[in-house]
Amino acid sequence: MFQQILKVQTQPKRLHNITCQVETVVAQSQAETGLCTVFVRHTSASLIIQENADPDVLRDLNNFFAKLVPQDGHSYIHDAEGQDDMPAHIRSAITRTSEQIPIAQGRLVLGTWQGIYLWEHRDFSHSRQVVIHVS
């Protein structure tokens, strides 16, 4: 088993492609076959595996979530950390905080157009921790 924590400085409400960083950790683990678990240690950011070729996909996802989970300042009781906090929690709850990717021949078994993204749901930049566990 092998484990490492990635520190990712995010930009507000943006998807950050962390595929290369995860691949680097898998290579360092020297695992030929196994499973890579990626876990974000926060409740206002999430992880997704999504298309990595056309940036319009990421823009459409952001636009869809803005409509699905509005940040209007009136819809939520919890606002202790600002108007963006509860919508960020909801977005994390309906996406994922972890992903599992098989490893074969020392590499992640992702599809041709798949990338691993850390999705910042807050209005400000944050330093996020992503745990990479290879078994």
**Burial category of 14 from C-beta neighbours within 10 Å (exposed 0-12, middle 13-18, buried 19 and up):** middle
Measured CA to CA, the distance from residue 51 to residue 113 in angstroms comes to 5
Q: What is the pLDDT along the chain (135 residues), one digit of tens a residue?
A: 999 999 999 999 999 999 999 999 999 999 999 999 999 999 999 999 999 999 999 999 999 999 999 998 788 999 889 999 999 999 999 999 999 999 999 999 999 999 999 999 999 999 999 999 999
The pLDDT of residue 3 = 98
pTM confidence score: 0.96
The pLDDT of residue 73 = 79
The pLDDT of residue 74 = 84
With contact defined as beta carbons under 8 Å apart, do 46 and 32 qualify?
Answer: no
The pLDDT of residue 79 = 87
Q: Which domains does the chain have, with CATH numbers?
A: 2-134 (2.60.120.460)
The pLDDT of residue 103 = 98
